[in-house]
Amino acid sequence: MSNGPLHGVRIVEFAGLGPTPFAAMTLADMGAEVIRIQRPGLKHLMGLHYDILDRGRGFVELDLKNDDDIQTVKALLSEADALIEGMRPGVMERLGLGPDEVAAINPRLVYGRMTGWGQSGPLAHAAGHDINYIALSGALHAIGPDDTPVIPLNLIGDFGGGGMYMAYGIVCALLETTRSGLGQVVDTAITDGTAHLMSMIYAMHAWTDRRESNILDGAAPFYGVYKCACGGHAAIGAIEPKFYAELLQRIGADAELAKTQMDRSTWPAVRETFAAIFATKTRDEWSELLLGTDCCYAPVLSIAEAYNAPHNTERGHFDAKNGIAEPAPTPKLSRTPGSVQDCSQTEALDVKDVVAKWQETRKN
């Protein structure tokens, strides 16, 4: 059991995909006791034997179409502090487990709801996935080369705009509950979260609404990726003038380029110059020359390479407790840090034992 900052917080998670288990994992990493409810015989959609997103919590098997099992769910919720669900709007209500029904048995419970479009709006009941949500939020249009948007995995929508915002919203609501004694609904929409992540971009009045035309989208020669002699890539982010000047000096480019750094008309030519320079050395050679300096450089590592990068190792980015290298809890707290739980925490539990334990500790 973790002694992280959320130790003592009890959360019931209704099994789902992507952002909901990510939110539950994030809270469990920080010490919350999370119990996942899943249907009997549920198999992982991706066929995984061990899903990192399921770490740190056990599960109980219940059939939400069975009246007796619904009563068991309500008994569990009556002792919980928060709930996580990712059903389409209206599904939980039809099961008799909507916010009003749950508030009647536990007015302190924080009710976390995860959807792509939100609980309201003309698209609320439509199907969708990460790519659709980030498309509607403006994020997808802004990413990629000029001729077509590039799909940024499902990081921006599912996990950034969805899972992280749900975890944040639940913690905020739990904090407020300590003052009011009342729970509330956390309506987490991936479209909302993605738009919020784009706050700085929306606020940049000089931003051109065309891909590969701005400082942060690949147009600027000092903020981009270059292919090296070995086929690997170097990432450069020398935005500030002093960092750009150092970059020019270290790669052997003309120092006069510093005078026209923000002249967009020069960017295509400078990018070609940089591309030719970076093609003269391997990625490791550039790392030997540039990594750790103020020219804002990093090698573009594969996932396998990232596991063993010295900086990541020193920082403890990855934890092998469960037999595979998996990202460690973050952020790092000085006094009550989170921790990766043992595999035993992902085993099936007896729901009656869980309810009895929660009731007993609640009394104490």
Pairs from 275-279 (Cβ < 8 Å, separation ≥ 24):
275/226, 275/227, 277/251, 277/252, 277/253, 278/226, 278/227, 278/228, 278/234, 278/251, 279/226, 279/227, 279/228, 279/229
Residues 248, 237: Cα–Cα separation, whole Å = 12
Classified as helix, coil or strand, 291 is coil
The catalytic residue positions are 129, 158
Q: Would you state the structure tokens that stand for residue 221, as one six-digit string?
A: 């020669």
Q: Would you state the structure tokens that stand for residue 58, as one six-digit string?
A: 């056990």
Q: Are 348 and 58 in contact (CB under 8 A)?
A: yes
Give how far Cα 182 sits from Cα of 19, 82, 175, Å: 25, 11, 11
Does the bond joining 40 to the residue before it have cis omega, within 30 degrees of 0? Answer: no
Cβ contacts of 310 within 8 Å, gap of 6 or more: none
DSSP 77-104: HTT-SEEEE-PPTTHHHHTT-SHHHHHH
User: Within a 10 A sphere around the Cβ of 258, how many other Cβ atoms?
Assistant: 17
Q: Are 343 and 50 in contact (CB under 8 A)?
A: yes
Q: Would you state the structure tokens that stand for residue 280, as one six-digit string?
A: 């003269």
Quick one: which of 35, 129, 30, 143 has its CA closest to 82?
A: 35
Q: Would you state the structure tokens that stand for residue 320, as one six-digit string?
A: 């092998």
